[in-house]
Amino acid sequence: EVQLLESGGGLVQPGGSLRLSCVASGFTFNNYAIHWVRQAPGKGLEWVSLVRGRGGSSDYADSVKGRFTVSRDNSKNTLFLQMNSLRVEDTATYYCAKDKSGVDGLIYYYMDAWGKGTTVAVSS
């Protein structure tokens, strides 16, 4: 069974930093791209970033580009989201989600499994 478990959320002041983790199990982690998607309280889903399984290259939404960095440790089946220069508008539940992906590394750009999320609150 595919499982994703996020952690690392919490309360941080504006301008601060936080590092989220996502531990995966039930699939060959390094074969799959993984997304971060966030949801502000009472709002819709917003895509944040994607890190590819092979090579680990990444993409970011304009709203977080230059502030957030995604990385992965394939030896530990773990994905990280380093969030710097946090803003009040970054307050959200952050989900990691597995891309459908292909065995050949092709990215399908949709999510077939989601974690339960971790909550980040940015406030003074």
Partner 1 sequence: QSVLTQPPSVSGAPGQRVTISCTGSGSNIGAGYDVHWYQQLPGTAPKLLIYATDNRPSGVPDRFSGSRSGTSASLAITGLQAEDEADYYCQSYDSSLNVVFGGGTKLTVL
Contacting residues toward partner 1, per CB under 8 A? 35, 37, 44-47, 50, 59, 61-62, 95, 97, 100, 108-117
20, β-bridge pairs: 81
Q: How far is the CB of 95 from partner 1 (least distance, A)?
A: 6
User: Token pair 């993984």 is at which residue?
Assistant: 34
Pick between residue 29 and residue 95 the one whose CB is nearest to partner 1: 95
Provide the token pair at 107: 């990215």
DSSP per residue, 65-108: TTTEEEEEEGGGTEEEEEE-S--GGG-EEEEEEEE---TT----
Least separation in angstroms between CB 64 and partner 1: 12
CB of 85 to partner 1, least distance (A): 21
Q: Is 68 or 95 the residue whose CB approaches partner 1 more closely?
A: 95
Nearer to partner 1, 16 or 45 (CB): 45
| CA neighbor of 18 nearest in space, from 67, 60, 66, 61 | 67
